[in-house]
Homo-oligomer: A and B are copies of this chain.
Amino acid sequence: MTSLSYQTKPAPHGTANICLGCWDQMHIPIPIRGPLALPFRAFGITRSKMNPNICTICERSFRYVKKQRHIAADATILFADIRGFTVLAERMGVVELSEIVSIFHDRCAQAIWAHDGIVNKQMGDGLMAIFNFPIKIRDHSSAAIMAARDIQQRCAAALDSLEFDLDGLPGGALGVGIGIHTGEVEIGEFSSFRSDFTAIGGAVNLAARLESQAAAGEILVSAEAAAKAPVLVADTEVRRLSLKGIEQPVMAQVLIKM
């Protein structure tokens, strides 16, 4: 049993002095660190929870940043969740469960931020990340795949050190499943009462469906994302998948945690 005083703190990640999102989207320098950031903080403009290198203007004022309610954008979407979490939740105490969820979210965020992605949504034992908005990334498919490998490594190291009794789990393993797809998505505000942006569209759903098919330790990368990151998917298995709601079979590269 692990110590309950275990605290999860994000490790230091790249630190920008101006908001990378506002710079990439509008070429406006918004200070987010150092003394120049203080007057902005007084007006409620601070670092975003989605990524500490972007600011709350990017996060909450999409219409101000893009002059539209939503835009089409080329992006890579990553979904991750804890495999077998329903089984875990049935068998494990809530304190252990909450510790696992905390570790998962913190390690995922560190990995995603290290590759300039944003943690757009968190829901229970799962999350959705966006690469290439608002921080522009030339090769966002590769950034997402590298972040995914990083998630697998960080989560495995942290979860292994917990030493919970996992004998009752299917496969005996506590692990993370990840799905990645690159394509055109619609980014913007889709709720009149929440102002944080998100992404929707067929490409988002495909990434979510891939994640739902990934076993513990697996990263399923769609053919479209893989084609843009050939070096990272070289010599990996190709799997043919039937995904709910998608008529044609989908081919995905399977990256497995070493």
Contact = CB atoms under 8 A, between A and B. Distances in A.
A124 B200 contact: yes
Interface stretch (A99-107, A135-143, A150-158, A229-237): A99-107
B89 A205 contact: yes
A57 to B, nearest CB: 15
Given A186-B97, A245-B87, A246-B86, A105 B200 contact: no
A75 interface: no
A98 interface: yes
A188 interface: yes
Contact of A10 (B186, B193, B204, B246): B193
A90 B245 contact: yes
Contacts of A90: 202, 205, 245-247
B9 A204 contact: no
Interface of A: 7-10, 44, 49, 52, 69-70, 72, 84-87, 89-90, 94, 97-98, 101-102, 105-106, 109, 121-125, 128, 186, 188, 190-195, 198, 200-202, 204-205, 208-209, 243-247
5 contacts: A52-B193, A70-B94, A90-B202, A90-B247, A109-B191
